[in-house]
């Protein structure tokens, strides 16, 4: 009975295609029908999309070389090698990005400008869009919408043909769906796959969090950022991409104490005297119940910073530019960053659920900090970024304390034993075959200084063109 129904269905499809035969076009080369249809559908929608977004933007040479390098690194780690991914920049001030089936990716000029050469953010955007193609979100949404899933699947098996009218209708449907989004689950999946692609390609996965922070900020100011606008709730997505960051870290491995001792002796960036900054210019004295007593070796000055503030621990950044402080505020602890003049430049307040911060250690490149957090029962190591507020529990369910961050990775104590974990490796974008820069002079505007008795007044600088 089943065989009879299947045969009947197949006969109907063959009959339908024979009727449509005069208007059909044939698939080319060794591609499967599905791939060919996907590619044809994507390419048929390209001209209309480019038109809608102000045409193609010609990216300046140096920026284009950088953009291509980020894009190529992502394409290299994709799974659908049969696709020929390509990227077009649209001449629109909007902050937006799209992906069409078959590997046609688009970002707007506005998005590139806002990202301002932040490779992690760009990798997050492109990774997300590539993920839509990798997971066939666009093509599946179109086929679902048109009720063509079965026809195309059967066609894939037996026919290798497609009516041209059908492609036209599908292309219109695709453009309509593109502006509505591919669906909630598809967006979550694109976030996950895109972030993973970016990390595999050597970019920092924090880019996705930073990008969503930008969107949240734009939302609060009601700025015209349309990227991911059709996507699920931004806060929820941010929560998910932050949660996922920990999974990219290596599983903590036991390190014999003798081995660690050897590593510490050989390590260039292990600072035994944490009180002096790396340039030995400032020295923080010990013993004050509140505030910081700082000595300037150059001017031989004694300074008292943050007089009424209880500082539990501190650490100089690797460049000596900032001092990170663990500050006690009533029942909570906060993480403060102080510049070399004693000014507080940033305050972070970790969620109460992580407990109180006990100790801290900078990453060798100074973009992250490892925090020892304690809820009174157990300690764990959390990692946060200086420019993006995230808290990643990296010491695993058994916890850890006394973080030491070296070039080789992050070491911490669990019970009596030392463990090692490390962030996923990142590599900077290096344009493979650069061309010389063409520079032009920049005019620096200087204010006029007017002294009036004990006060100094600065006038607004005026631009004088030569």
Partner 1 sequence: MKKLVRVILLNVIVLMVVSNQALSFADPSSLYTTEIPENWVYQAQRSNPHLSVFYGEGDYDLLYFQNLGPISDANVEAFVERTLALYEGPGGLQKFYLDKAPHQVEVAGERGLACVYSYEERSGVTLWEYRIFLILPDQQGFSIALGGRAPWNDQDYPVLTETLSQWRWLF
Give the interface with partner 1 as residue ranges (CB under 8 A): 58-61, 63-64, 430, 432-442, 465-466
Helix (DSSP H) and strand (DSSP E) numbers for the chain: 12, 22
Distance CA 332, CA 345 (A): 19
> CB-wise, 64 or 184, nearer to partner 1?
64
> CB-wise, 69 or 378, nearer to partner 1?
69
Find the shortest distance in angstroms from Cβ 37 to partner 1: 32
Find the shortest distance in angstroms from Cβ 68 to partner 1: 11
- Residue 141's H or E segment, with its range, is helix 137-146
> CB-wise, 30 or 435, nearer to partner 1?
435
> CB-wise, 65 or 358, nearer to partner 1?
65
Distance CA 432, CA 57 (A): 23
On whether the CB atoms of residues 419 and 395 are closer than 8 A, the answer is yes
- How is residue 128 written in tokens? 């997300």
Distance CA 120, CA 122 (A): 6
Buried b vs exposed e over 383-418: b needs ≥16 C-beta within 10 Å?
bbbbebbbbbbbbbeebbbbbbbbeebbbbbbeeeb
Find the shortest distance in angstroms from Cβ 62 to partner 1: 9
How is 153-183 classified by DSSP, letter by letter? HHHHHHT-EEEHHHHHHHHHHHHHHHHH-S-
> CB-wise, 147 or 428, nearer to partner 1?
428
Neighbours of 434 (CB within 10 A): 12
Distance CA 194, CA 133 (A): 11
Output the furthest CA–CA distance in the chain (Å, rounded). 104
- How is residue 364 written in tokens? 């060798």
Find the shortest distance in angstroms from Cβ 440 to partner 1: 5
Residue 35 CA from chain centroid, whole number:
30
Find the shortest distance in angstroms from Cβ 442 to partner 1: 7
| Residues near 421 by beta carbon (within 8 Å), at least 6 away in sequence | 249, 250, 251, 252, 253, 394, 395, 409, 410, 412
Find the shortest distance in angstroms from Cβ 428 to partner 1: 12
> CB-wise, 51 or 443, nearer to partner 1?
443
Find the shortest distance in angstroms from Cβ 431 to partner 1: 9
| Residues near 131 by beta carbon (within 8 Å), at least 6 away in sequence | 189, 190, 191, 192, 193, 194, 197
> CB-wise, 438 or 445, nearer to partner 1?
438
> CB-wise, 116 or 437, nearer to partner 1?
437
Find the shortest distance in angstroms from Cβ 437 to partner 1: 6
> CB-wise, 72 or 250, nearer to partner 1?
72
How is 27-74 classified by DSSP, letter by letter? PPTT--HHHHHHHHHHHHHHHHHHHHTTSB----HHHHHHHHHHHHHH
> CB-wise, 5 or 435, nearer to partner 1?
435
On whether the CB atoms of residues 126 and 74 are closer than 8 A, the answer is yes
Find the shortest distance in angstroms from Cβ 316 to partner 1: 23
> CB-wise, 140 or 321, nearer to partner 1?
321
Find the shortest distance in angstroms from Cβ 435 to partner 1: 4
Find the shortest distance in angstroms from Cβ 438 to partner 1: 6
Distance CA 412, CA 371 (A): 11
């Amino acid at each position: 009975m089943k065989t009879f129904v299947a045969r009947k269905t197949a006969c109907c499809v063959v009959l339908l295609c024979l009727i449509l035969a005069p208007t059909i076009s044939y698939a080319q080369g060794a591609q499967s029908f599905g791939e060919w249809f996907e590619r044809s559908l994507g390419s048929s929608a390209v001209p209309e999309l480019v038109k809608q977004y102000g045409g193609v933007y010609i990216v300046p040479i140096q920026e284009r070389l950088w953009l291509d390098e980020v894009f190529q690194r992502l394409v290299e780690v994709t799974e659908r090698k049969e696709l020929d991914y390509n990227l077009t920049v649209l001449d629109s001030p909007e902050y937006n990005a799209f992906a069409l089936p078959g590997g046609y990716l688009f970002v707007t000029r506005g998005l590139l400008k806002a990202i301002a050469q932040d490779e992690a953010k760009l990798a997050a955007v492109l990774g997300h869009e590539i993920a839509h193609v990798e997971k066939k979100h666009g093509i599946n949404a179109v086929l679902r919408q048109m009720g063509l899933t079965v026809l195309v699947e059967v066609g894939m098996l037996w026919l290798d043909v497609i009516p041209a009218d059908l492609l036209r209708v599908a292309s219109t449907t695709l453009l309509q769906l593109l502006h509505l989004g591919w669906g909630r689950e598809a967006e979550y999946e694109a976030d996950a796959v895109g972030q993973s692609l970016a990390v595999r390609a050597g970019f920092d996965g924090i880019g996705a969090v930073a990008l969503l922070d930008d969107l949240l900020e734009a939302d609060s100011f009601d700025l015209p950022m349309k990227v991911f606008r059709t996507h699920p709730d931004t806060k929820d997505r941010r929560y998910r991409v932050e949660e996922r960051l920990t999974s990219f870290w290596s599983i903590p491995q036991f390190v014999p104490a003798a081995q660690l001792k050897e590593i510490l002796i050989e390590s260039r960036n292990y600072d035994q005297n944490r009180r002096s900054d790396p340039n030995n210019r400032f020295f923080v004295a010990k013993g004050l119940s509140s505030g910081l007593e700082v000595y300037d070796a150059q001017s031989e000055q004694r300074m008292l910073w943050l007089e009424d503030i209880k500082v539990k621990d501190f650490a100089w950044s690797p460049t000596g530019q900032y001092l990170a402080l663990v500050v006690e505020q009533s029942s909570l602890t906060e993480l403060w960053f102080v510049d070399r003049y004693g000014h507080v430049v940033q305050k972070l307040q970790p969620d109460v659920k992580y407990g109180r911060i006990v100790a801290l250690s900078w990453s060798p490149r100074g973009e992250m900090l490892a925090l020892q957090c304690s809820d009174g029962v157990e300690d764990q190591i959390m990692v946060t970024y200086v420019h993006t507020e995230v808290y990643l529990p990296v010491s695993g369910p058994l916890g850890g304390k006394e973080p030491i961050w070296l070039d080789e990775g992050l070491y911490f104590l669990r019970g009596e034993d030392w463990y090692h974990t490390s962030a996923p490796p990142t590599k900077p974008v290096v344009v493979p075959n650069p061309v010389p820069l063409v520079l032009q002079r920049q005019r620096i505007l200087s204010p006029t200084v007017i002294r009036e008795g004990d006060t100094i007044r600065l006038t607004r600088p005026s631009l004088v063109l030569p």
